[in-house]
């Protein structure tokens, strides 16, 4: 039986879309606490899911459900349109469950992420940051992968140009170009970072260089350690021999 409209999947095609999720928090300015904040609350915070460089992602993301700690009234907050975020006040850190619901055309099941809400500065300079009451940002870059999307969703993902045909040829560089030429939507991230957006191809390349350099260092360390071990084993054998302790060798 032929597949019903909208359920035919594009075999062998994967489409990924980048996004950012995380939180921002700041202690109240003692001079002007938010007027309705309960006595024991100390911080204002915001948890969010957004596009890299604030790109619109609502063409694939329909709604987001944030599950807060149960000390919050109505701890399950559903946000049906962008910005997909919840702003709150509180006193403690906790794990926030973030459930992503995709547009109906996708026929995809929701996906769940977890985010640790951070209220207090962490890492190097934490104390100084606390002193300055700096905004505490904790966020992650993530990619959602749609494997073998249904045709209708593929169209939406790649620009809603109405073309039902996936790019011809093998997936990879070429198909990416075709999608771009259509003036369609892509998973491109900006070339350079900006004060508002740390995720870029330049930062990605820098990170890759850093990883390659680290790998080289580890290789070098391993080589040195192995050389030391060989040297010590040799020395041990020599000592045993000079002390008359039989050196264990393979039986002939
Ligand atoms: C902790 N395990 O002990 C965590 C719990 C709960 C955070 C943190 C305020 C809720 C309200 C709030 O900040 N809850 O409105 O009462 O650190």
Tokens of 76: 């399950």
Same domain? For 115 and 222 the reply is no
Instruction: Give the pLDDT confidence of 179-209 residue by residue, as tens digits.
Output: 433 456 878 888 888 888 989 999 999 999 9
pLDDT given at position 129: 93
Residue with structure tokens 């957004």? 50
Same domain? For 206 and 90 the reply is no
Same domain? For 176 and 78 the reply is yes
Same domain? For 209 and 233 the reply is yes
Number of domains in the chain: 2
The answer as to whether 55 is a domain residue is yes
The answer as to whether 8 is a domain residue is no
pTM above 0.75, yes or no: yes
Same domain? For 50 and 123 the reply is yes
pLDDT bracket for residue 163 (50, 70, 90): very low
Residue nearest to atom 1 of ligand 1 (CA): 92
The more confident residue out of 168 and 24 is 24
Averaged pLDDT for residues 103-117: 97
The answer as to whether 151 is a domain residue is yes
Is the Cβ atom of 90 under 6 angstroms away from ligand 1? yes
pLDDT given at position 4: 53
The answer as to whether 105 is a domain residue is yes
Let me know: does 197 contact 54? Beta carbons within 8 Å. yes
pLDDT given at position 250: 60
pLDDT given at position 186: 76
Same domain? For 141 and 32 the reply is yes
Same domain? For 99 and 134 the reply is yes
pLDDT given at position 30: 87
Please give the residue range of the domain that contains residue 105: 13-187
The answer as to whether 193 is a domain residue is no
The answer as to whether 129 is a domain residue is yes
Q: How far, in Å, CA of 54 to CA of 198, rounded?
A: 11
Tokens of 153: 């969703």
Residue nearest to atom 2 of ligand 1 (CA): 94
Residue with structure tokens 């494997």? 147
Let me know: does 79 contact 49? Beta carbons within 8 Å. no
> Which regions of the chain does DSSP assign to beta strands (E)?
14-27, 43-50, 61-67, 76-79, 84-90, 95-102, 111-116, 136-147
Same domain? For 156 and 237 the reply is no
CATH number at residue 93: 2.60.40.1970
- Ligand 1: centre distance to CA 183 (Å): 46
């Amino acid at each position: 039986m032929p597949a019903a409209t909208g359920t035919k999947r594009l075999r062998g095609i994967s489409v990924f879309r980048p996004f950012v999720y995380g939180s921002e928090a700041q202690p109240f300015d003692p001079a002007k606490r938010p007027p309705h904040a309960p006595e024991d609350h100390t911080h204002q915070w915001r948890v969010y899911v957004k596009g890299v460089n604030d790109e619109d992602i609502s063409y694939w993301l329909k709604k987001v459900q944030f599950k807060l700690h149960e000390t919050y009234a109505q701890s399950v907050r559903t946000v049906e349109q962008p910005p997909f975020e919840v702003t709150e006040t509180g006193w403690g850190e906790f794990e926030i469950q973030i459930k992503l619901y995709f547009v109906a055309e996708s026929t995809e099941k929701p996906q769940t992420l977890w985010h640790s809400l951070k209220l207090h500065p962490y890492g190097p300079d934490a104390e100084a940051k606390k002193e300055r009451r700096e905004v505490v940002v904790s966020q992650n870059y993530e990619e959602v992968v749609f494997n073998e999307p249904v045709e209708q969703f593929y169209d939406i993902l790649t620009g809603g140009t109405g073309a039902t045909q996936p790019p011809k040829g093998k997936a990879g560089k070429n198909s990416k170009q075709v999608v771009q030429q259509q003036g369609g939507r892509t998973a491109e991230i900006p070339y350079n970072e900006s004060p508002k957006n740390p995720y870029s191809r330049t930062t990605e390349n820098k990170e890759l260089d850093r990883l390659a350099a680290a790998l080289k260092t580890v290789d070098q360390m391993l080589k040195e350690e192995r050389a030391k071990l060989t040297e010590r084993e040799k020395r041990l054998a020599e000592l045993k021999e000079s002390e008359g302790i039989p050196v264990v060798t393979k039986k002939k």
